[in-house]
Structure 1
């Protein structure tokens, strides 16, 4: 999703904006105990959890908004800010750190023009995150792009992966 598409979503009328959320709530029978799967589905739809949508979910489930926001902020899987189409997660756990994950992060940031303060590209194609552990220590250093695991990554290999994704994206747009 690019910035224009994001702006379009934000400008939609409330009824249209919440149409998908209503369907998700209906699929889960508006059951408060289904909050986590509901939030997962909402995040899959929007690629993050917009504040107004969380409030709408709370109303639809008849639970306090604080409960919904509490769950959304407790689990690291949930995002309250928009993420790019490709989420690059770099492990910086002990094994990965010792095997030099930081130079990989620096190469990714440099290639994409990002930093720890601004971790999503303007075109909403990439988001870069570091995580404490991905549980694949034997493959250290590890990078996960969306759900695809890459082990024994070097800074050069990480940049090459980004180049390949950008090339595929150019081809799919033509």
Structure 2
């Protein structure tokens, strides 16, 4: 039986940070970089309080997210060895559900609808691995975790960190070669 992996959407295969930066520049004319976001949370990302939340509640936000560099190729590679599930705690933003599904169909058309899980609390996920950027999901996961680098987790060090998709593939390759 093949091992299974739960892969988060936002911040892992979908580049939410870049979307925040692009939308901020579009609306306010100011260019921030990903380094400017490091160590902040959604409430403190920008000088305007609550702006990140306003962005994610805007129509088109999730549908127009850029794909994370290397994500498509990496997910295809992982599917050769693992049963891959895309798992998103999408219920926090229920209006995002159709946009997220359409985004997956456009950018990851090779993922079956059977392997897409929209949920509220990811602690119900029972895969062998979880790749996620949020500690609230990783800390309660029973399998092995890979923390995908994000502005809000730069200080965390209690999960294996991957800064990009090449690092994810290397971590999993080493994991499999030691067995």
Same fold (TM over 0.5): no
TM-score between the two structures when normalised by the length of structure 1: 0.28
Larger radius of gyration: 1
Q: Give the structure with the larger helix fraction.
A: 1
TM-score between the two structures when normalised by the length of structure 2: 0.28
Query: RCO greater where, 1 or 2, for CA within 8 Å and sep 6 or more?
Result: 2
